[in-house]
Amino acid sequence: MVYVVIAAISCLIQLVSAVLAAGLIRLTERWLAWSMISAALLFMTVRRFIPLYTMLATGSTASINPTQEYLGLVISILIFAGIIMIRPLFYAIKRSEAISRENEARLEHILNKAPFPIIVHAEGGDILRVNKTLTDLTGFSPAEIPTIDDWIEKTHIKKEAFIASIDRLYTRSENKDDGEFTIRTKDNRQRVWDFISAPLGELPDNRKLVISMASDITGRKQAETHLIEANKQIQEAFDDLIEALARTVETQDEYTASHQRCVTDLSVRIARELNLSEDQVRALRMAATVHDVGKIYVPSEILNKPGPMSTLEFELSKAHTLHGNNILKSVRFPLPIAEIVYQHHERIDGSGYPRGLKSDEIMIEAKILAVADVVNAMSADRPYRPALGIKKALKEIQKNRGTLYDPQVVDVCVRLFEQMDYSFVESRCEEVASSTS
Ligand SMILES: [Fe+2]
C-alpha cells in the first residue's frame, strides 16, 4: 500500500511540475524548449498513472518495483524543486525587460520631443541615436553619421577637442562635460553649438553609453561679437576725443604737449608696478593725457610768463583743475576721467587744491598722476626757470613722502628711475601718446 501512495505522490508532483513548466512558456523567448519540457513531464505523469490505475483497478501489486518507486519519487521532487527555483529568475528577467522597454520608450519620447539636438553614443564611437531636431538642424540623417568619426568628418567639428571631451566621460567616469564647438551643416552653414554630455549607463557589452545634448548659440555668439565690436568702436571714439582734447591744449601751450605725454607714460608705469586693474590703468592713461586740458581757460600769457606768477595769476592757473573737470564731465565717459583730473593737484595732507581732499578721499589714480606731474614738471624747463633735473625732482617727492605724496607711489616712482633705468625720453613719450589713440 505504501508503494501505491508513493507512486500516486510522484504522479501528482510530476503533474504539478508539468503545469508550472507550461506557465514558463509565456515568460521566455525559448518557449519551444519549455513546451517540450512541459510535454515530457505530462507524458511522464501519464506513464506513471497507467500502471497505478491498473494496479488500483485489478488490486494486483505484482508489477510494483520498490526501488523504482523510490527513485521515481526522488526524480519527481528534484524536477519540481528545479522548476520552482527557476521560476523567479524568469519572472525577474521579464520584469527587467519590461523596465528596459519602458526606459527605451521614455528615451525615444525625449529624443523625439526635445527641441534641441541630441546624440546618444557608445564607448568606441558608435552613434546609437540622433534625434529629429539634430537631423533638421544639420541636414544629416542617422544613416549618414553612424559613428563619431563620421560626425566629426561631416560637421568639421574640432576633432581633438571633441574626442577629448567625450573621452573624459568614457574613461574617467566624469558626471558631465561641456564645451562650445563650431560645426558645419550639410548645406555648409557654420553654427556654434554648446554641448553638454553625460553618462547614460552601460550597454550589455559593458561599453559606456553617453548622451550629448547641444544648444545652438550661434545667434548669441554673433550678438556678443557685435557687442564687443561696438564697445571697441565706442572706446576708440573716446580715445580719439581724448587725443583731440590733448591736441587742443597743446596748441595753446607748447610745454604742455610733451608734459602730458611724459606724465601719461610715467603714470602708467607706476600704475602697472602697483598692479592697478586694467580699467584703472586705462582711466589713468586717459586722464593723464588731458590732465591739463583746463588750461585752455587760462590765458597763455600767464602760462608762458617768464618769472614767478602773482597771487592772482596763480589762482587763475589753479582753476585749470576745475575747468578740466567741467570739460570732461560733459562727456559721459565709462571711466572716472573727469574726477581724476579734478583731483590731480590734491595732496594727502589736505594742502592741495581745489577741494583740499585728504589721503583716502583722493583716488589712487590721482595720487599717481600728482607724483608723475610733479616729477616731470620739475625735471623740465619752464618759462620761469630752467630744468631742475630728475635728481632734484626725486628728492622733492621723497622729502614730501607721506605728507604731500602717497608713500607707495613715491617709492615706486623712485625705484623706476633709480633701479629700473626709467627716464623721460621724448620719443618714448610720443610712443605712449600714439598708443592711447
Ligand atoms: Fe595740472
Cα(46) to centroid of ligand 1, in Å?
Answer: 121
Cα(422) to centroid of ligand 1, in Å?
Answer: 22
Asked whether residue 254 falls in the same domain as residue 124, the answer is no
Asked whether residue 398 falls in the same domain as residue 350, the answer is yes
- CA-wise closest residue to 195 among 163, 228, 147: 163
Asked whether residue 228 falls in the same domain as residue 372, the answer is yes
Asked whether residue 168 falls in the same domain as residue 250, the answer is no
Neighbours of ion ligand 1 (CB under 5 A): 292
pLDDT of residue 49: 81
Q: Is the pLDDT score of 435 beyond 90?
A: no
pLDDT of residue 433: 40
Q: 253-259 contacts: CB < 8 A, separation 24 or more? A: 253/292, 253/295, 253/300, 253/303, 253/304, 255/303, 255/304, 255/380, 255/381, 255/382, 255/383, 256/292, 256/295, 256/303, 258/380, 258/426, 258/429, 259/292, 259/376, 259/377, 259/380
Asked whether residue 102 falls in the same domain as residue 205, the answer is no
Asked whether residue 237 falls in the same domain as residue 340, the answer is yes
Asked whether residue 345 falls in the same domain as residue 237, the answer is yes
Average pLDDT, integer, range 153-178: 80
Cα(345) to centroid of ligand 1, in Å?
Answer: 6
Asked whether residue 254 falls in the same domain as residue 144, the answer is no
Q: Which residue bears the cell 620761469?
A: 384
Cα(293) to centroid of ligand 1, in Å?
Answer: 9
CA–CA distance, 246 with 257 (Å, rounded to integer): 8
Q: Is the pLDDT score of 129 beyond 80?
A: yes
pLDDT of residue 437: 30
pLDDT of residue 426: 52
Question: What CATH number should be reported for the domain holding residue 208?
Answer: 3.30.450.20
pLDDT in tens, 267-323: 999 999 999 999 999 999 999 998 988 888 888 788 777 777 888 888 888 899 999
Cα(50) to centroid of ligand 1, in Å?
Answer: 126
Cα(257) to centroid of ligand 1, in Å?
Answer: 12
Q: Is the pLDDT score of 254 beyond 80?
A: no
Asked whether residue 243 falls in the same domain as residue 324, the answer is yes
Asked whether residue 250 falls in the same domain as residue 196, the answer is no
Boundaries of domain holding 17: 2-110
**105-109, 251-255, 275-279: range with highest mean pLDDT:** 275-279
Cα(379) to centroid of ligand 1, in Å?
Answer: 15
Quickly state the pLDDT bin for 144 (edges 50, 70, 90). Answer: very high
Average pLDDT, integer, range 338-350: 95
Q: From residue 63, how far is each of 69, 131, 321 by CA, in Å?
A: 11, 72, 132
Q: Is the pLDDT score of 21 beyond 90?
A: no
Lowest mean pLDDT among 58-72, 105-119, 137-151: 58-72
Average pLDDT, integer, range 210-229: 91
Cα(406) to centroid of ligand 1, in Å?
Answer: 17
Average pLDDT, integer, range 225-250: 85
- Residues forming beta bridges with residue 208, ordered by sequence position: 202
Phi-psi region of 307 (alpha: psi -120 to 50; beta: other; left: phi over 0): left
For residue 147, count other CB atoms closer than 10 A to its CB.
Answer: 14
Which of the listed residues 169, 184, 216 is the one where a domain comes to its end?
216
pLDDT in tens, 52-106: 787 777 777 666 677 877 888 888 888 888 888 888 888 888 888 887 788 778 8
pLDDT of residue 385: 73
Question: What CATH number should be reported for the domain holding residue 388?
Answer: 1.10.3210.10
CA–CA distance, 130 with 158 (Å, rounded to integer): 19
Asked whether residue 198 falls in the same domain as residue 274, the answer is no
Cα(285) to centroid of ligand 1, in Å?
Answer: 15
Cα(278) to centroid of ligand 1, in Å?
Answer: 24
Q: Is the pLDDT score of 378 beyond 60?
A: yes
Q: Is the pLDDT score of 436 beyond 60?
A: no
Asked whether residue 253 falls in the same domain as residue 308, the answer is yes
Which of the listed residues 60, 83, 110 is the one where a domain comes to its end?
110
Which of the listed residues 201, 216, 231 is the one where a domain comes to its end?
216
Cα(233) to centroid of ligand 1, in Å?
Answer: 29
Domains held by the chain: number: 3
Average pLDDT, integer, range 37-66: 79
HEC sequence for 78-126: HHHHHHHHHHHHHHHHHHHHHHHHHHHHHHHHHHHHCCCCEEEEECCCE
Higher confidence at residue 30 or residue 281?
Answer: 281
